Amino acid sequence: MDTEASLAERARSGDLTALAELVRANYSFLHSYLLKITLDPEKAADLTQETLLRAVEKIRQFDGTAKFSTWLITIATRLAIDHHRRKSREWRFLRSQAREEPARLLRWRVETAGAEWSDLLDALARMPQETRLAVVLKHYYGYTQQEIAAIAGVPEGTVKSRVHLGLKWLRRELTDYEKDKRQRPAKS
């Protein structure tokens, strides 16, 4: 079985079988990442396809200094940011509604499938996308601030600030939620 690095090198040289194997090996990981970032299954699927298409088109530009999956996350993140910016300009007057509706749909799908929707996902859904992106990359996937800065195309200080503010915001949101939950009368 080939390593990711050898598959990537073969794919760069034009080996379509190696390229197909790389795409297949990274599809679920990439889709899961984009689902956490967008909280919208349809957008995540579209961005996954767009990311993989871009990777196939630009495979010769992959230099192997990072893992192939990290390169894919970089492409996906930039596409997600571009998509979000485009939508923000188009739908500025519906910003809060547009951010909450996909999360409600995802929650419904998760709960309908019998899985549990966590309070953390609710809080992440209300968080601005740029902040959610930094928090998810740092605390779900373990990337360093320097790596996140490279992936998102922002200064490292911006990443540090977003992670810090995001965690502070999550603590406040989840603490307020727990207080509200304790203050509600018990159902009989």
Domain ranges of the chain: 1-117, 118-188
> In CATH, what number does 118-188 get?
1.10.10.10
User: Given CA atoms 41, 43, 47, 49 in this order, what sign does their dihedral have?
Assistant: positive
Q: Which of 75, 47, 50 is nearest to 153 (CA)?
A: 75
Please name the CATH architecture into which domain 1-117 falls: Orthogonal Bundle (1.10)
List, in order, residues 6 or more apart from 137 with CB less than 8 Å away: 73, 77, 143, 147, 148, 151, 152
Q: Percentages helix, strand, coil for the chain, rounded to the nearest 5?
A: 80, 0, 20
pLDDT above 80 for 51: yes
Region of poorest pLDDT, from 92-101, 109-118, 176-185: 92-101
Q: What is the pLDDT of residues 118-177, one digit of tens each?
A: 667 777 778 888 999 899 899 889 999 999 999 999 999 999 999 999 999 888 887 876
